[in-house]
Amino acid sequence: MILDEAVADARLAVCEFDGARAWLEEACGYPMEPLAAEVWVTDAAFEHVLLVKHRVRGWVPPGGKVEPDEVPRAAAARELLEETGLRSELLPEPAAVAVRSYRADWSPTLGLSYAAVVGRDVPVAGEPNQPAAWFRLDADWESVFPEDRERILAHARRLAAGRVVGSR
């Protein structure tokens, strides 16, 4: 079941934000749609992050809605491919779980963040009117989710400290 996969990944996530696990426990008793999944793509030096320019949200990690027949990890990989042209293995451990509203007309949504490490020399191709670009993690970027930079930076620092061996 898709919700079971989301719950399992939420429990495995390295970081939790917004009381997401407690929110998820309560929300499991109700229909929950949509779920969201994204990928925090960093370079092998853990100094840059790959973002896409969303028409409303600004620069955000590649991601989107989990389709009814998908598990969140598969949705994250699909969104990464659609929005950047990258096929990359996601790291085994989800990076984070959070709760936020992605659209004004959506109720709060559980979002799972996965991670991938990709060389900056790999070509990226954004969707029409939604370019993809590398940003330094120590720089600011325009986004409706300004907290993402610190969250992704903290995760990249954990990876750089050797909690994950090798890059994909």
* Residue 1 DSSP SS3: coil
pLDDT of residue 147 exceeding 50, the answer is yes
pLDDT of residue 159 exceeding 70, the answer is yes
Please tell me the pTM assigned to this model. Answer: 0.84
CATH number of 2-161: 3.90.79.10
Q: What is the pLDDT of residue 163?
A: 55
pLDDT in tens, 41-94: 999 999 999 999 999 899 999 999 999 889 999 999 999 999 999 999 999 999
Count Cβ atoms below 10 Å from residue 162 Cβ, excluding itself: 7
Token pair listed for 40: 């925090």
Judging by beta carbons within 10 Å of its beta carbon (0-12, 13-18, 19+), is residue 138 exposed, middle or buried?
Answer: exposed
